[in-house]
Amino acid sequence: MPSPLRLGIAGLGTVGVGVVRIVQRQAALLSARTGREIVISAVSARSKDKDRGVRLSEYAWEDDPVALAKRDDVDVFVEVMGGSDGAAKDATEAAIAAGKHVVSANKALLAMHGQALAEAAEAKGVAIRYEAAVAGGIPCIKALSEGLAGNEISRVMGVMNGTCNYILTRMQDAGLDYQTVFAECEELGYLEADPTLDVGGIDAGHKLALLVSLAFGTQVNYDALQIEGIEKITIEDIQQAADMGYRIKLLGVAQRSGRGVEARMSPCLVPAASPLGQLEGPMNMIVLEGDSVGQIVLRGAGAGEGPTASAVLGDICDLARGAMQPVFGVPAGDLAPSERAKSATPAAYYLRMELADKPGALAKIAAVLGDAGVSIDRMRQYGHDAATAPVLIVTHRAAQEALETAIAAMESTGVLASAPVALRIEDI
């Protein structure tokens, strides 16, 4: 049997401890499946004395993750610290420079510095594997880079943040407003230390940036994405969308068109009966569409100790078997520059607004939409008070620019009581 594959694990939080547990519990299974023993040589974390509920005394300890990355008895540097810069970036760069393979769960690091890291790794002849960085236990990176390698990918979409999906489904199921459910999530510990990473779409956007690069052969460019969070979604939006057969999801969508590669992370309406519409609670779902395979749907836990550590071990096992491939599917030097698409593919839209309750108000809004080239598919007016009338409009497919023109023109009609809310409706 070949010599053992030796791991250095940087970060002993939820995921790092999960990796240690699997290596200790499944040592015989991992060896049988890879033909090579997988062992831990050394670990690193902020505190050495903290009780983490796993056996660590047999491993060497490094206070500095950079020192861990350079150790002679480490073949694979496992980076599960998190953060786009600082120690995670420094240690990953040190590992690559020292000729170590890297397995990472760090979507922020790769979304912001993936191109440079990929170039450095490929020049050094080492691998960067990052299945755990996107959608937890769902093997979507492997699906794109290996299983669907014979396909031209036309669209990638999915729910990539379980906290946001929990908030939106909890609002719908319990009839609670956003702030109430947000407070629940804080109490349950579901939110990041900076909650905007979750509810602002940033965490999910990092994941989408990696999928875009793999799917379309472009350099990772988080700044090319359009990002919008769920903070403005109201219980009225949730309920009214449901009345019309839709569910609201924080949805990442990337697709190739004549305008370039469009990539956005934003709240969207999806058909309630679709797989995405049926996704409940803190789960993730990735939908991939290729010219030969058609559409495939991957569903599973997007976070947590077991699912994420499982993804880390999948990458480690591939390295134990000697599997090597470019970081983003094709050599880093061949990746095309990534820029924001010139415009968005036309789509239907959901519009919600409050109108002054006076004659001709609705006619003025309809006229503005028509003048901009946006036609109305369905329209509903809900119960109103003495001053305002809530109105819901679903448009036919329209260019985003036309809709934006119409919304801007609505302000001059004198009948708006509140700014319109516009959500894209995605075909599934």
CB 374 within 8 A of CB 403: yes
Q: Please tell me the distance from the alpha carbon of residue 61 to that of residue 84, in angstroms, as a whole number.
A: 24
Q: Please tell me the distance from the alpha carbon of residue 72 to that of residue 70, in angstroms, as a whole number.
A: 6
Please pick, among 107, 207, 249, 364, the residue that the annotation labels catalytic.
207
Q: Please tell me the distance from the alpha carbon of residue 201 to that of residue 121, in angstroms, as a whole number.
A: 29
Q: Please tell me the distance from the alpha carbon of residue 242 to that of residue 21, in angstroms, as a whole number.
A: 43
Q: What is the DSSP letter of 143?
A: I
The verdict on whether 358 is a catalytic residue reads no
Phi-psi region of 316 (alpha: psi -120 to 50; beta: other; left: phi over 0): alpha
**Residue that is written with structure tokens 């809900």 in the block:** 382
Q: Please tell me the distance from the alpha carbon of residue 43 to that of residue 77, in angstroms, as a whole number.
A: 10
Give the closest residue to 237 by CA, choosing from 425, 415, 366: 425
CB burial string 132-158: b at 16+ within 10 A, e below: bbbbbbbbbbbbbbeebeebebbbbbb
Task: Catalogue the active-site residues.
Answer: 207
